[in-house]
Structure formats: C-alpha cells, structure tokens
Amino acid sequence: MANVLVVDNLDVTFALHQSEVKAVSDLDFTLAEGETLAVVGESGSGKSQAFLSIMGLLARNGKASGRAMLGDVNLIGMAPDKLDNYRGKDIAMIFQDPMTSLNPTLRVKTQLAEVLVRHQGFTAEKAHRAVIEMLERVGIPEPVKRANAYPHELSGGMRQRVMIAMALLCKPRVLIADEPTTALDVTVQAQMLDLFKNLTNDFGTALVLITHDLGVVAGVADRMMVMYGGRCIEKGPTDTLFYDPRHPYTLGLLHSTPHVAKRAKRLDPIQGLPPSLEHLPRGCAFHPRCAFRFERCFEERPPLLPVEDVREKACWYQGELKYEAVA
Amino acid sequence: MLDRTEDLLKIENLSKNFSISAGLFAKPFQLRALQDISFTVKRGETLGIVGESGCGKSTLGRCILQLLAPDEGRVLWLGQDITKLPAEEMRKKRRDLQIIFQDPLASLNPRMTVGEIIADPLKTLMPEIDAKGRRERVLRTMEAVGLLPEMINRYPHEFSGGQAQRIGIARALISEPKLIVCDEPVSALDVSIQAQILNLLSDLKDEFGLTLIFISHNLSVVRHVSDRILVLYLGRIVELADGDDLYEDPKHPYTRALLTAVPIPDPKRARQRTIEGLVGEIPSPINQPSGCTFRTRCRFAEERCAQVRPPLETLANGRRVACIRWQELDLNGGA
C-alpha cells in the first residue's frame, strides 16, 4: 500500500510566559492507504498536539517544525489560506465533543454542504443531494429530516455521526479522529467503531485514532504508536504490541486496563503520575515510574530503535518484561 | 468479621420524576427518571450500577443519599426509613453515608486548602471533635488514601486529577462512613491513574469494612470492582445478578447487548466476536415506549412485549430479570 502521510522529525513547542515547553519531540511515522493507526497515550503525552500541528490548528503560542508530507506537499509551516486547500478535502479531523465542532446556529445541511461547495465546486443542489447521501451512509435514520435539524436537536451519537459525515464528504485520504468515542455510551461507541471499519474499507481512507482506551485500539487498529512525554516510545503492529509488549510503559498500560471478561483480583497499575512536560525527567522520561530501570536510564535518553524488524522501541532494558523478575 | 448477610440498605419501590418546563403557559412534561426501584445492599459488598447515559444511575445514587428527595418509595438505612427524616436527623445519618463524585477538581472548593476540604465534613457531622483532633484525623486519612502530610496546606489546583480524586476520597472517608456511593469515580482519569484509584478503593474497602455502591457507564470497571451488578434501562431495573453470573450468562437482552459492545483489550478476541449493536438509541425518558421500554431496540421483541410491562422476576439464587421471554431466550455468554 502506498503511504499517504509521511511524518518526519516533527517537533511541537509552546512559548510560555518566560520559557518554552516541548509538547512533541522528534516524531516519525508513516500512514498507508486504508490503514488504521492508533496513537495511544495519557494526558500530556503529546498525542493530540502532534496531530493538531499537522492540521495547522495549534494554539497561537505553538510552533511546529519538521515535515508532514501529504503526498508531495509538506503541511508543516504552510500558510493557513494555502492549508485550506487540503484541510477538509484531503485530510480531515474530528474531535471528542461534536457540539464544539458544529456551528450551533446553522442547520446540519448548511454546514455540511458548505464543505462541498468550497472544495469541490458543487452547486448548492448537488451538494445538498451529496449531503443526504452521506448522512445515510453514516447510519443516520431519516437523513432528510435530520439534515434540516440544528445540532442541539440531535443526540450525542447523531452529532458524532454528523461530524464523521462532514469529515468524509470529500473522501479525504487521511481522517484523524481524536478520542471520537470517549463521550459516547458503549452501544453507540460500538456502532461508531464499526462505521470507521467500513469507511476505511470502502473509501480507502487512512484513519488515525487518537485514544487512551486500549479496548478501542484492539478492535480496530492495524498498527499502534505509544507516546509518553511527547515522544513515541514503542510502535508496531497491534497484535505484536498487545501480546508481546517490549516497553515497560506499554506493558503497564495493558496491565492497568480492566478486562470485562476476566476479573483479576487487583490491577497492576503503573506507579506515580505522568510527567509534566515542563519538567521532564532526565534520561528516559519514564524512568521515575519504571519497574525495570537501571543506572543508564537516569542519565541517557534511549533512542527509538528497530527491534526484530517488526517494531521500534525506546528503552535500554533488553531483558524479559516480567513483573516477577523485578520483585 | 463482617456480617455479610445483613441488609445495610434497602430500597423499596423508589420513583423519581422531574418536571420539565414546556413553556410559560404549557403543562410541564414529566420526566420519569426512576420507576419502582427495589433492591438491597448487604454489609461489606460492592454493588455496581450500570447503564447508558440518561438511565437514571446518578439520580438513583442521589436519591439513596437523600440529596434528591424521591417522589415515592422508601430508603431503609439499617431498617429505618430515611426519606422522611427531619433535616437535623438526616445530617446525623450523613456520617454513615458519603459520596465521591466524578469530576474531582470540580467537586473541591478551590479556595480551601486540602486540609480544610478534608476536615470540613467533621465540623458539621462530628462537631464534638476539636481542632487538634480534626487535624490528627485529617493526617491519618490522608495517609490512608496515599497523600503526603506536607500536602495539607496546598490548594486543589496544584493537584492532578488522580491526586484530586484522592482528596475527594479522603473527604468521604473522614467521618468513618459505612456506605460510600461512588458516582463515576474514575471516568475522568487516565488509564494508569484509574487503576491506582480502583486498587485504592478496594484496599480502603477491606481496611475500613466499607460497603460501596459503584456507579459507572464503564462495564469493565464495574465488573472489576463489583460483587453484584444492577443494570438500569430508562429508569427501571432490567437485571440484577452476581457479577460472574451476569457477565457469563446474561438473562436480559439489554445486558447482553451492553456486554457485547464493551471494547475488549485483546485484538484476537476483539476480531472474532460479532458486536450485535443495539438498534438505534435510548428513547426519551419523557415519552417512553409502552410495555417493555427496551422493546424498541430489542432483537427479540415480539408483539406482546408492547402490551405487558415485564415484571422484575426473582430467579433461583436471587437473580432478578425483567423480560417476559427470559426463559425461552438463549443468550449464551456476553463477552
């Protein structure tokens, strides 16, 4: 499969009152046509900021450097008016809370049709037909009626579907979904994830799923990238990372996740708190919480290196990851 | 030893309606948030309450604590009905009945120090304790929930979500309650912190002999902590069973649908299973379907489901289910 998005050396920095804070450091990844990549991490891991920077949506004090090649154009550092030729057309993003992303004063059909008129030069009538079709495609019952509604008249699940419909109208090559199901009930979440699976199959859209929920990742992602303290610390195929994690943080996340089918007596959480990006620990950012750390981890930051051709990880520890081995 | 057979709390035919204004001169709508809820909570157990948003699970938690007055029914605390108690009497009971909220930062007063927040319930609930005694208790409770003594003079904004939730737990614990209602206590937390708080609650439960009512929309979390689980749909109990029974052999089609929708953190199993997504969304509680309120989304619904409201039947081993077809349906295994 051809790569639709290639990101190299991505850094994101925010200027604070008297200092700067680096939210994303040296991020590299590729995204192939029709592929689903899960980006996993806790708050402050940089997972959202990395993708906001690719979309040119950083807060005003934020600055990105590096490259994000969508085909042969670099989106990083592009002027906003030029970016608008790609945003919504070739690359689209949806967010956790659909209510903040939809205009409350416009009918659903008005805001959706605008996308097609702007990017594809559709006539109003043609755009309207395409909007109804897409609303139906994402599983909205009575699409004609719902197209006339205002966002507040729809339920949370319906609004999220409207967002997805809007993002998919131009059949983008890349869809970035930032915690798209976190605010939804499990039954609606399951419908949404199903919808994502069908859409990547049918349109060949590459999906980036930003989430903290490993259950969601297991169901839909082909590959995953785990982030901590603004860096990727392990990435590889989903099955590989789930069944044979090699980074202690990936292992820790898996052990922290309760499993509906198995009732463990206790969870094995990671000790301590995620670091503040302003005061990242020296050496490996994870070392204060790591059960496998040794002297080197305090001083030197481990680089992200390939392991056995299937994955990359950033960790000095080479032994087996067994909690018993340490205790 | 705890006597695990004693009913600490008994809820009888509890109902709660909210009036929703339909305009200045129109008759208000009645939103039926809870209808005819009955169950018991035994000393020392953890009862999980699950359901989708709007099913009434938080309202139920608040009605139990008398933070909301139920319209009908009784709440028996150690055999005594607390729904009609005068305010002063109820205040005394609150020593025994506490609550932990979802959003830890929003539920802490930003202008009070951690020490003041945790000590606050003591001033009203146990005024006989003097300032020195309060401070001792605060420090002891802080230690129990994993907060360091030097944090006592800090303000809530200096804490992360997980630490703030520890403060909320300490505030609930300080009066040495018998029962704590945990309303989505870990939903706003990161995965690794969520696991820490779940372990903490389980340790505290053992240490202080607590009884917990654990309200959450996250079935994996509820499964992890609960001995018994109550499933709510549109303000009614649809199923109540031991955790293992419920997960391994759900009797109500809604329970089964919920279970098959839970994301499983295991890629191979996640690929194998088919999600029988529910049709549509939860109906409005203002305008509820006739008969079984779940029938509009149920794969097994028949004509008679629209006519009769299924009674909450009691099965062997005390399980309860509200579905007229439960005996004929083979729902073999949820997850």
Is the pLDDT at B4 greater than 70? The verdict is no
Question: Which whole number is the average pLDDT over B170-178?
Answer: 95
Of A187, A242, A273, the CB nearest to B277: A187
- Report yes or no on A16 lying in a domain: yes
Same-domain check for residues A322 and A304 = yes
Residue with tokens 């990359």: A312
**Quick check: B3 pLDDT over 70?**
no
If asked whether residues A242 and A158 sit together in one domain, one would say no
Residue B52 falls in which region: left (phi positive, over 0), alpha (psi -120 to 50) or beta? beta
Binned at pLDDT 50, 70 and 90, residue A195 comes out as: confident
Q: In total, how many domains does chain A have?
A: 2
Q: Which residues contact A51 (CB under 8 A, 6 or more apart)?
A: A39, A93, A176, A178, A208, A210
Assess if residue A96 is contained within a domain: no
Contact A273 B280 (CB under 8 A): no
> CB under 8 Å to A295, separation ≥6 — which residues?
none
Q: Residue B47: CA atoms inside 13 Å, Cβ hemisphere, count? A: 27
Q: Rounded to 10 degrees, what is the CA torsion of A170, A173, A174, A180? A: 50
Q: Is B323 helix (H, G, I), strand (E, B) or coil?
A: coil
Average pLDDT of the segment spanning A99-111: 90
Q: What is the CATH number of the domain that holds A68?
A: 3.40.50.300
Boundary-marking domain end, from A124, A139, A167: A167
* A193 and A70 assigned to the same domain: yes
All structural domains of chain B, each given as residue ranges with its CATH number in brackets, are: 7-96+177-249 (3.40.50.300)
- Least Cα distance to B7 among B86, B105, B77, B96 occurs for B77
What is the C-alpha to C-alpha distance for residues B233 and B255, in angstroms, rounded to an integer?
A: 10
Residue A296: per-residue pLDDT: 96
CB contact at 8 A, B139 and B78: no
| Number of CB atoms found within 10 A of residue B51's CB | 27
Interface with B, mutate which of A257, A265, A277, A323 (most B CBs under 10 A): A257
* A230-251 pLDDT tens trace: 999 999 999 999 999 999 999 9
A51: Cα within 13 Å, side-chain hemisphere: 28
For the cut 50, the answer to whether the pLDDT of residue B334 exceeds it is: no
For residue A185, which residues of chain B lie inside 8 Å, CB to CB? 52-53, 217, 282
Gap between the Cα atoms of B179 and B172, Å rounded: 10
- Which helix (H) or strand (E) segment holds residue A236: the answer is strand A231-237
> Any CB–CB contact under 8 A between B98 and chain A?
no
Cα separations (Å) of B129 from B88, B90, B120?
A: 18, 19, 12
In chain B, the N- to C-terminal Cα span, in Å, equals: 35
> Which residues of chain B make contact with A156, given a CB cutoff of 8 A?
53
From A137, A167, A197, the end of a domain falls on A167
Are A85 and A157 contained in the same domain?
no
* A244 lies in some domain: yes
Mean pLDDT of B147-163: 92
A230 touches chain B (CB under 8 A): no
Inform me whether the C-beta atom of residue A238 falls under 8 Å from chain B C-beta atoms: yes
Residue among B108, B132, B110, B111 nearest B122 (CA): B132
Q: CB-based contacts of A92: which residues, under 8 Å, 6+ apart?
A: A166, A167, A168, A170, A172, A174, A175, A176
pLDDT > 80? residue B274: no
A chain contacts of residue B263, beta-carbon cutoff 8 Å: 186, 189-190, 193, 213, 215-216, 218-219
Cβ distance A76 to A57 under 8 Å? no
Nearest partner of A8 among A20, A24, A22, A23, judged by Cα: A24
pLDDT digits (tens, 9 = 90+) for A207-222: 999 998 999 999 899 9
Of B191, B259, B269, the CB nearest to A256: B191
Out of A154-163, A263-272, B47-56, B274-283, the most confident range is: B47-56
Three-state secondary structure call for residue B154: coil
What does the buried/exposed string (b/e) look like for A158-197 if buried means 16 or more CB atoms within 10 Å of the residue's CB? Answer: bbbbbbbbbbbbbbbbbbbbbbbbebbbbbbbbbbbebbe
Q: Tell me: the pLDDT tens digits for B285-308?
A: 888 899 999 999 998 999 999 999
A288 touching B (Cβ < 8 Å):
no
- Beta pairing class for A206-211 and A36-40: parallel
Looking at the structure, do residues A193 and A157 belong to the same domain, yes or no? no
Q: Is B272 on the interface with A (CB under 8 A)?
A: no
A99 within some domain:
no
Task: Name residues whose C-beta falls within 8 Å of residue A284's C-beta, 6 or more positions apart in sequence.
Answer: A290, A293, A297, A300, A301, A302, A314, A315, A316
- Residues A61 and A188 both lie in one domain: yes
> Model confidence over B182-223: pLDDT tens digits?
999 998 888 889 999 999 999 999 999 999 999 999 999 999
Q: Taking 60 as the threshold, does the pLDDT of residue B1 lie above it?
A: no
Give, to the nearest 10 degrees, the angle between helix A108-120 and helix A124-137.
120
Is residue A161 domain-resident? yes
Stated as kind and residue range, the H or E segment containing A25 is strand A20-32
Q: Is the pLDDT of residue A323 over 70?
A: no
A286, pLDDT greater than 80 = yes
Most distant CA pair in chain B: distance in Å? 68
Per mean pLDDT, which range of A47-56, A253-262, B227-236 is the poorest?
A253-262
Q: Which residues of B touch A187 (CB under 8 A)?
A: 52, 257-258, 261, 277-278
> What residues contact residue A211 under an 8 Å CB cut-off, 6+ apart?
A38, A39, A40, A179, A181, A182, A217
B5 vs A219, residue with greater confidence? A219
Please indicate, yes or no, whether residues A212 and A316 belong to a single structural domain of this protein.
yes
Residues in chain A, total: 327
Average pLDDT score over residue span B90-112: 91
The answer to whether residue A326 scores a pLDDT higher than 50 is no
Task: Write the pLDDT tens digit of every residue in A21-74.
Answer: 999 999 999 999 999 999 999 888 999 999 999 999 999 999 999 999 999 999
Do A110 and A75 share a domain, yes or no?
no
Q: What is the pLDDT of residues A299-319, one digit of tens each?
A: 999 999 999 888 999 999 998
- Biggest distance spanned by C-alpha atoms of chain A: 68
DSSP string, A260-289: TTB--SS--PPPS-PPPGGGPPSSSTTGGG
Same domain, A76 and A218: yes
**Cβ–Cβ of B244/A263 closer than 8 Å?**
yes
Is A190's pLDDT higher than 90? no
- Kindly state whether residue A24 falls inside one of the protein's structural domains: yes
Residues A318 and A227 in one domain: yes
Does some domain include residue A183? yes
ipTM: 0.84
Domain that holds residue A153: 106-167
Q: Looking at A48-52, A138-142, B131-135, which range is the least confident one?
A: A138-142
Confidence of residue A327 (pLDDT cuts 50, 70, 90): very low
Strands A36-40 and A223-228: parallel
pLDDT higher than threshold 60 for residue B310: yes
Residue B335 in this model has a pLDDT that exceeds 80: no
Q: Is the pLDDT of residue B87 over 70?
A: yes
Contact A196, A207 (CB under 8 A): yes
For the residues B73-90, what does the mean pLDDT come to? Answer: 94
User: Inter-chain contact A218–B224, Cβ cutoff 8 Å?
Assistant: no
Q: Establish if A290 belongs to a structural domain.
A: yes
**Number of CB atoms found within 10 A of residue B274's CB:** 6
Question: Are residues A149 and A233 located together in one domain of the fold?
Answer: no
Asked if pLDDT for residue A197 goes beyond 50, the answer is yes
Residues on chain A touching B275 (C-beta within 8 angstroms): 190, 194
* Contacts for A56-63: CB closer than 8 Å, 24+ residues apart: A56/A80, A56/A83, A56/A87, A57/A93, A58/A12, A59/A14, A61/A14, A61/A15, A61/A16, A62/A12, A62/A13, A62/A14, A62/A15, A62/A23, A63/A12, A63/A13, A63/A14, A63/A15
Q: Which of B189, B199, B248, B266 to mutate to test the interface with A (most CBs of A within 10 A)?
A: B266
- What pLDDT shows up at residue B128? 93
Which among A187, A194, A267 has the least Cβ separation from residue B258? A187
Distance separating alpha carbons of residues B168 and B175, to the nearest angstrom:
13
* B295 Cβ neighbours under 8 A, 6+ residues apart: B289, B301, B305, B306
Residue-averaged pLDDT of chain A:
91
* pTM for the predicted model, two decimal places: 0.89
DSSP class of residue B70 equals -
Mean pLDDT of A106-127: 93
pLDDT band, very low/low/confident/very high, at A325 (cuts 50, 70, 90): very low
Would you place residue B68 in the very low, low, confident or very high pLDDT band (cuts 50, 70, 90)? Answer: very high
Domain finish residue from A148, A167, A186: A167
Provide the pLDDT for residue B27: 84
A291 touches chain B (CB under 8 A): no
Q: Tell me: do A203 and A260 sit in the same domain.
A: yes
Please spell the DSSP secondary structure of A134-187, one letter per residue: HHHHTT-SSHHHHHTS-GGGS-HHHHHHHHHHHHHTT--SEEEEESTTTTS-HH
Helix (H) or strand (E) holding A190: helix A186-203
Q: Does A97 touch chain B (CB under 8 A)?
A: no
